Structure 1
Amino acid sequence: MKQPKKTTPDAAEAAGDRGDVTRQKLLNAAIDVFGHYGFDGTTTRALASAAGVNLQAIPYYFGGKEGLYLAAADHLATMISSHVSGRRQQVQARLAEIQSEGRAVTRDEARELLTSLLHTLAEVMVSEKSRAWARFLIREQMEPTEAFARVYESVMRPMIEAIRRLVGILLDDEPTSEHVRLRAISLIGSVMVFRVANAAALRQLEWSEIGPREFNAICALITEIVHALDRRGQK
C-alpha cells in the first residue's frame, strides 16, 4: 500500500509562511475595502479579489466576513500603535521618572511632553497610509461596532488618557474633569482634521499637498495651541 507523503519541517514552514502572507494580504485589503464600502456593502468576493487570494481563504483563515472585519480592526490598531505607542510610552516613562524624583510635573515639562505627543499624532495623520485607516475608523465613529471598541481600547484610550493628564497639569485641573476631557478631545480634533477633513483643509489653506513645509506649519500651530493651554493666561 502506498504510504502517505510525509510533510518535512521545511515544507511545513513554507506552508506557514504562505499562510502568513495570505492573511496579511487579506488584512491590508480589508481595511481599504471595508473603509470604502462599509461592512454591509462589502462582499467576500470583493475582499478576495482586492487581496489577490482565493475566495476560500476568508473562511479558512478568519471564519467569514465578520471575522475578517474584526481581525482588520485589530490589525489597524496594531499599525497605528506601532507609530504612536513608542512616543506615548516615552512620555509615560518621563512622567514616572519625575514622580520618582518626588516632585510635581512643571508646566514647561507638561507642554514639552504634550507637544511631542501631538506632533507624533500629526505625523501619522498626514501620512498617506492613514488615508485608508481614516476611512475605516470614520465609518466606525458614525456607527460603532465591536471593531471600534477594539481600536479604542488598544490605541485611542491610552493616547487620550496620556493627553488628558498633561492637559490637566496645564489647566491646573483634574484629568478626569469634564473640562479637561473636552480640551483633550478638541486638541486631538485639531490634529485629526488634517486627515478627516483633508480636502477642506487643503482648499482653505491653498495647499496642493501636505509636504515638509506644510507639516512644519502644522507642527508650529500645534505648539502654539499647547502654549495657550495655561490657566494663568486665562485669568
Structure 2
Amino acid sequence: MTDEQTQPNRAEITREKLLSAALDVFGRHGFDGTSTRQLSEAAGVNLQAIPYYFGGKEGLYVATAEYLVTRIERHIGGLRQRIGTHLMELAAAGQELGEEQARLFLTDMATTMVGLLVSKESEPWARFIIREQMEPTEAFTRIYQGIMRPMIEMARRLIGTILREDPASEHVRLRTLAFVGNIMVFRLAHAAVLAQMEWQSVGPEQLQTLRNLVAELVGQLRQAEGNTR
C-alpha cells in the first residue's frame, strides 16, 4: 500500500482524535477556557493539526458540535427513520396516525433516550450541550438543527396525536418540552438522581426501572376533558 493510499486514513484518524478530545475538553472548560495546546495534548496530536484540519480553534469548536450530532445520530437515527417512514407512508395513503401507534413510537423514543442519557458515553455530550444552552453560539445552532429540533418536532407530532391537539399549538409545544425535560433530568441532574435513589450507579436493573418510568409517563398523557379534534 502506498503513502497516498494510507494518507486519507491517517488524516481521518487525526481528525477523529481531535474531535473526540475536543468534545471532552470544551465541555469541561468551555471555549474561552480551552487552549489549542490543551486540545492537541488531549488528542495526542501535533499542535499544527488544529489549523491544518479545522482552520483554528473556532473551526474545531463548530466541527465538534457537528461531530456530537453524528455520535447521537448513531444511537437514535434508526428509530427516527423508522418513525419518519411510517408517518410518510400514512400520509401517502391519506391516513392519520392512530393514538395507540403514537404511544408505541413515543415509548420507543423515550426509552431509547433515557438509556442513552444515563450511559457513560453521554457525559461529555451533556457538558458540551449544557454550556451551549447557557451561552448559545453557532455550535448550539448546529446541535439544535441537527438533532434536537428533529427529535422534539417528532415527539410533538406524537404527543399532538395522543392529546388530539394541533402539534404546532403552544400547549402541545409546552407539553412536549415538559415531557422531554422529565427524561433529560436523569442526565442533567445525574448526581442528584443517584443520591435520591441511593444508587451507586445506573446498571441494567436501574436502567430498566427508568425505562419503566418513562413508559409510565407516556401512559399518563391524556386528552384534556372535553377537547376533540
TM-score range (shorter-chain normalised) is over 0.9
Identity of aligned residues (%): 50
Relative to structure 1, the CA distance from residue 233 to residue 115 in structure 2 (aligned partners, 3 Å threshold; closer, same or farther) is farther
Over 4 Å off, 4+ runs: 232-235
In structure 2, the partner of 1:173 is 165
Which one of the candidate residues 216, 219, 224 is aligned to 1:224? 216
Letter in 1 for 2:54: F
Q: Displacement, 1:188?
A: 1.1
- Residue 53 (structure 1) aligned to one of 45, 58, 64: 45
Deviation at 1:232, TM superposition (A): 5.7
Of 207, 212, 219, the match for 1:215: 207
User: Cα deviation per residue 1:125-151 (whole Å; 9 max; x = unaligned)?
Assistant: 111110000000000000000000001
The alignment's TM-score, normalised by the length of structure 1, stands at 0.92
Unaligned runs of 5+ in 2: none
Out of 88, 91, 104, which is 2:96 matched to? 104
Paired letter, 1:213: E
Query: Do residues 77 (structure 1) and 69 (structure 2) align?
Result: yes
1:151 correspondence with 2:143:
yes
- TM-score, length-scaled by structure 2: 0.95
Aligned CA-pair RMSD: 1.5
Deviation of 1:220 after TM superposition, in Å, equals: 0.8
Aligned to 1:195: 187
Query: Quick one: distance in 2 between partners of 1:229 and 1:190?
Result: 13
SS of 2:31's equivalent?
A: coil
Aligned mates of 2:96, 2:12 — CA distance in 1: 48
Alpha-carbon separation, structure 2, partners of 1:79 and 1:217 = 25
Distance in structure 2 (CA, Å) of the matches to 1:27 and 1:37: 15
Report the count of equivalent residues: 227
